Amino acid sequence: MKASKLTMRKKKEMLWGYFFIAPFLLGFIVFMLGPMLFSLIGSFTDYNLTSKMNFVGLANFKRMFFQDQLFWKSLYNTAYFVLFNVPLTTAFSIFLAVILNQKLRGISFFRTIFFLPAVLSGVAVYILWMQLLSPSAGLINTVLSWFQIKGPAWLFDPAWTKPALILMKIWGSGGAMLLYLATLQNISPALYESAEIDGAGTWQRFKNITLPLITPIIFYDVITSTIGSFQIFQEAYVMTKNGTGGPSNSLLFYNLHMWNKAFVAFDMGYAMAMSMILFFIVMILTFINLKLAPRWVYYAGGEQK
Amino acid sequence: MKKKLGFLFVFFSVLLILTACGGKEKNSTDATAKKADANGRVTLDFWSFWGSGARKDVIEAIIADFNQSQDKITVKYTYQPWGDIWTKSLSAITAGNPPDVIVQDINSVAQRAQAKQATALDKYIDKDTSKQFYPQLWETTLYEDKSYALPFNTDTQVIFYNKKLLKEVGVTEDNLPQTWEELEKVAHKLDQKKGNDYSRIGFYPLWNIGADVWALNADNGVSWFDRDGQVKIDTPNKVTALEWIEKWQKFYGRDTINRLEAEFGSGVSDPFISGTVAMRAQNINYYSSLMENAPDDFDFGVMQLPEKTKGSGHWSWGGGFVLEIPYGAKHAKESYEFMKYLTSEKVQEKFGEKSFDIMANKTANENLVKNKNLSEKGQMVYKMADDNFPNTVITPVPLTAPDYNSLVNEQLDQALMGSKSPEAALQAAQKAVTDLVKQNKTK
């Protein structure tokens, strides 16, 4: 008697639960899952949006791996970007957060300054950076020239276009900085005090207290920024003339190539196949990340394991 | 209790779906209501990217004229930003609710026709329609013998020269440079140095037209693809063109060029107006910028691009825009009526007079040469455009490789940066594009 009542209550709760997440579920199914499934189906066809959608088997994938040289180029460019962008922006935002975690007068002013880039949006920032990066008149090369360094041509030199973009991304890492900062402020000062009494230096305190306690956020940041970096598109689209890929295609990122295939060549089936491959790459990387996490991510509560 | 809750859940979900669909339904009834109002007038939605300045003013005036001139059609003008307009219209076509008339890129008409994104116009066109346009513009609108668009405006590449500076070195309108060699001679007479740095450059071919235009100029007007769709990238003439550009680069030195380009790029001053550059190859539309920014006593002329050698032809390159009825638009007949109006002689002349665009209607351009509302310089520009048009090549994208550009540009960049010889670069581009054609054919 009692048991059945409980299950009924449980069922009731479950129902309410579903009811409350219904808006998300509906949105997810209609706007995410639906299009994703459609992409999956489309990737085996020659779909061109308007006039045809014939099944072509694995032709799109074959073409991608064995014929389309720009596919490999764009994948290389993207991988290069991810490989440098993710660790550098993560390290920089931790660095910033630690510095800005000091109790100084006017620290909130500096916090605002470093957070600002994360608030400023898209295109205006890119245009600003294009001016900063201008080879002879730009601020960056002007500053370098004070130290007798001849700055590179940045966005005009294929070897420097990607570093230029990464530099810009590092400047904009204020968003993640805020997350780290919030976590840092939750760390109990008692830990530092006792470490100090035990004679630990600044570096040791950072290494043995701060770092382990923010690993969950690092983990989160690495995963989201890896996914985000793989999706880089806007920057390259704006900073090269309407998606032309920059000097000698050095800024032709994966999504840019995909966009060109979809909306310049109307080869939507092929673009969908490309998006599937990207989906798998990102999924595998995230899976590896999740598997590796227990080795280095420290959850203070201890129960998540 | 359980039942009640289940019911509640379903009820709310249904409500949610209903409100979502309801919105859509309301929109579509709105749309049909919009298209034929009480007096039986059909309302057309016209999309273009002219959102500011002279072009916006004149197109709005033209639309107002059209709406008043008859009582069957009302045209509503919708501005769509340059970066969005064509992707937006593509989604609208896919969704089955496109605009009625849209301004489109002249180079991809056949590509859209093939993909069924545009309405064939053969039902509405009469025999003489094609004759009012420059022939190469008309040709771009054809796909499998049917026309899918009406050309609207166009442009061509020419050289603007500083009359005063050229006069100083003894060059006047009668002995303007006609070949590459003559151009080099005149240019280097105009060069000036201050110490080790150039303070004035006579001419540099990549200011401001692309290497692709010079390649076409050298190769008898044949672009990267010939008329039959064969890939013609690695040809002796095109190699010569790149070598010629390289020669200029070496002459002035890459440092000089980069320094000046950065200066020009900052947009503080126009190097041609300031006299830093004596001759500047540019889209003829550059005239409107000169009108706005040059002082009144700035005296300039226009000339054709030189020939590679005597008799090889003053080949130049142009682009432009067409008017199209997207596939699935509801009032094709009325839309065509409006398009016909926009491409008619008087309307085209009016648009040209205000915007300084080269118009697709040949007679309109010829009238503009004599148009009294234009300054002497303006008339000169239209005369040059009309003279230059027989040599102007339009390069529609090949259906076999619509996205070939990034492949060619990659190699051109490498050649111009000196990391590859012109020959090797063009060879690689030829191979890459041929490959792309093959991929698309076997698909």
Chain A nearest CA to B358, separation (Å):
24
- Asked if the bond preceding B283 is cis, omega within 30° of 0, the reply is no
Give the SS3 label for residue B198. Answer: strand
Is the pTM higher than 0.80? The answer reads: yes
B306 and B353, same domain (yes or no)? no
Q: With respect to residue B6, please indicate whether it lies within any of the assigned structural domains.
A: no
* pLDDT tens for each residue of A187-220: 888 999 999 999 888 899 999 899 999 999 999 9
Token pair 């033209």 in the structure block, residue = B62
User: Which residues fall within 8 angstroms of residue A53, CB to CB, at 6 or more apart?
Assistant: A42, A45, A46, A47, A269
Residue A269 has pLDDT above 50, yes or no: yes
The whole-number pLDDT of residue B33 equals: 43
Q: Please check whether residue B366 lies inside any domain of the structure.
A: yes
Domain ends where: B369, B394, B419? B394
- Report residue B261: phi and psi, to 5°: -60, -40
CB B294 within 8 A of CB B166: no
Residue B81 and residue B128 in one domain = yes
Q: Looking at residue A302, what is its pLDDT? A: 55
Residues B342 and B359: their CA atoms lie apart, in Å, by 11
How high is the pLDDT of residue A155? 86
In a domain? residue B371: yes
Are both B185 and B312 inside the same structural domain? yes
Whether B198 and B109 map to the same domain: the answer is no
Contact B117 A50 (CB under 8 A): yes
Q: Are residues B255 and B191 in the same domain?
A: yes
Is residue A49 within 8 A of residue A185, CB to CB? The reply is no
Would B15 be classed as within a structural domain?
Answer: no
Closest residue of chain B to A263, computed from CA coordinates = B87
Q: In terms of domains, do B214 and B167 share one?
A: yes
The count of domains in chain B is: 2
Query: Is the domain of B214 the same as that of B351?
Result: no
Of B394, B416, B433, the residue that ends a domain is B394
Angle at A243 between CA A239 and CA A245, to 5 degrees: 80
Picking from B250, B283, B318, the residue at the C-terminal end of a domain is: B318
B90 belongs to a structural domain: yes
Run means of pLDDT, 10 residues per run, chain B, 443 residues: 49 48 41 54 95 92 95 95 92 94 96 95 91 94 94 96 93 92 95 89 92 95 92 96 95 86 71 92 91 89 95 95 96 95 95 92 94 91 93 94 92 91 96 92 68
Per DSSP, the residues of A263-294 read HTS--HHHHHHHHHHHHHHHHHHHHHHHHHHH
Domain co-membership, B37 together with B181: no
Place of tokens 């005296």: B299
CA–CA separation, A29 and A35 (whole Å)? 9
Higher-pLDDT residue of A120 and B382 is: B382
Q: Is B306 a member of any domain?
A: yes
Q: Say how far apart CA A165 and CA A130 lie, in whole Å.
A: 10
Chain B residues lying within 8 Å of A51, measured CB to CB: 114-117
Domain around B94: 33-155+319-394
Higher-scoring residue by pLDDT: B90, A103: B90
> What does the block give as tokens for A203?
């570096």
Contact residues of B toward A, CB < 8 A: 1-2, 5-6, 8-9, 12-13, 16-17, 83, 86-87, 90, 93-94, 111, 114-117, 258-259, 262-263, 265-266, 327, 402-403, 405-407, 409-411, 413-414, 417, 432, 435, 438-439, 443
Task: Please judge whether A69 and B432 are an interchain contact, meaning their C-beta atoms are less than 8 angstroms apart.
Answer: yes
Residues of A in contact with B94 (CB under 8 A): 49-50
Is the pLDDT reported for residue A172 higher than 60? yes
Do B185 and B210 lie in one domain? The reply is yes
Q: What is the CATH number of the domain that holds B214?
A: 3.40.190.10
Q: Return phi, psi of residue B177, to 5°.
A: -65, 130
Q: Which residues contact A75 (CB under 8 A, 6 or more apart)?
A: A254
Q: Flag whether B196 is in a domain.
A: yes
Q: Which residues contact A108 (CB under 8 A, 6 or more apart)?
A: none
Residues B137 and B214 in one domain: no
**Res A56 pLDDT > 90:** yes
B45 and B67 both lie in a single domain? yes
Co-location of B84 and B164 in the same domain: no
Strand order in the sheet with B300-303: B279-283, B157-162, B300-303
Cβ B258–A63 below 8 Å, yes or no? no
Do the chains contact at B2 and A248, CB–CB below 8 Å? no
**What single DSSP character describes residue A31?**
I
